[in-house]
Amino acid sequence: MTNGLIGIKLGMTQIFLEDGSVVPVTVLKAGPCVVVQRKTKLNDGYEAAQIGLVESRRIKKPTKPMEGHFQRGNVPPTRILREFGLRTAAGEDLKVGDPVLATHVFQINDRVDVIGTSKGLGFAGVVRRHHFRGGPKSHGSMFHRAPGSIGASSYPSRVLKGMRMAGHAGNARVTVRNLQVVMINEEQHLVSVRGAVPGKPGGYVIIRRKSL
């Protein structure tokens, strides 16, 4: 089976454990997914499976290349495609068209990494974007939230690449590691993980078993 799934973030809540403690969890709709393409060592040089997220809303007008790609595997078109490695040996019997469900991949108390796109915050300064401390707040200071020096004048006489400055904050790929699977709802394909997950409700995420 694959080592992960495509999912959708539904939101955050809290649940009570058997010992009475309350834990914050993020509820993810993990799948259902379907195998669209199978990568093999003979043809591609590595073992993997390309899976697509099956959603209630279908693609109305798929492009011709996309339509041909799905027709080759005899599966309905999906909006999101991702590639995952396999957890077992190369000879695993995982074929195109096979369903991939949350219960096939995850178990309670498993550790997972969740990859998503963080919320876009628009144009932001260095204090909000890069968590700069800022300058003195005392009377007469004119250096409250300014970035400070961005390079020397004589050498190298230019601003180096990667200099942290004001700009578009958020809307970036973020990976949150080592989250614990607290609950799995097999009927509704829900996986609850302990802690926060990047992105807004309704955003697509990748749920990947933690690599040992």
Interval 43-86: pLDDT, tens: 888 888 899 898 887 777 888 888 888 888 788 888 889 988 88
**What range defines the domain where residue 192 resides?**
4-119+173-209
**57 and 28 in one domain?**
yes
**Buried b vs exposed e over 63-101: b needs ≥16 C-beta within 10 Å?**
eeeeeebbeebebebbeebbebebeeeeeeeeeeebebe
pLDDT computed for residue 48 by the predictor: 87
Which whole number is the average pLDDT over 92-109? 84
**85 and 127 in one domain?**
no
Higher pLDDT, 55 or 130: 130
**54 and 41 in one domain?**
yes
**114 and 125 in one domain?**
no
**Largest distance between two CA atoms of the chain:** 72
pLDDT computed for residue 106 by the predictor: 87
Q: Which sign, positive or negative, has the C-alpha torsion 101, 103, 108, 113?
A: negative
- DSSP output for 114-128: EEEEPPP-EEE-HHH
Residue of 50, 69, 49, 72 whose CA lies nearest to 59: 69
**148 and 95 in one domain?**
no
**150 and 70 in one domain?**
no
**110 and 177 in one domain?**
yes
How many domains does the chain fold into? 2
Going by pLDDT thresholds of 50, 70 and 90, the confidence category of residue 90 is very low
**90 and 149 in one domain?**
no
Going by pLDDT thresholds of 50, 70 and 90, the confidence category of residue 97 is confident
Higher pLDDT, 28 or 92: 28
Q: Give the pLDDT confidence of 27-48 residue by residue, as tens digits.
A: 999 878 888 888 888 888 888 8
Q: What is the CATH number of the domain that holds 95?
A: 2.40.30.10
pLDDT computed for residue 67 by the predictor: 84
**147 and 71 in one domain?**
no
Model confidence at 184: pLDDT above 70: yes
Specify whether the backbone of 45 is left (phi greater than 0), alpha (psi in -120 to 50) or beta.
Answer: left
**62 and 160 in one domain?**
no
**180 and 103 in one domain?**
yes
Which whole number is the average pLDDT over 20-24? 90
Rounded CA Rg of the chain: 22
Mean pLDDT in the chain? 88
**84 and 157 in one domain?**
no
pTM, two decimal places: 0.82
Q: Give the pLDDT confidence of 133-182 residue by residue, as tens digits.
A: 989 989 999 899 999 899 998 999 999 999 999 999 999 999 999 999 99
Model confidence at 185: pLDDT above 60: yes
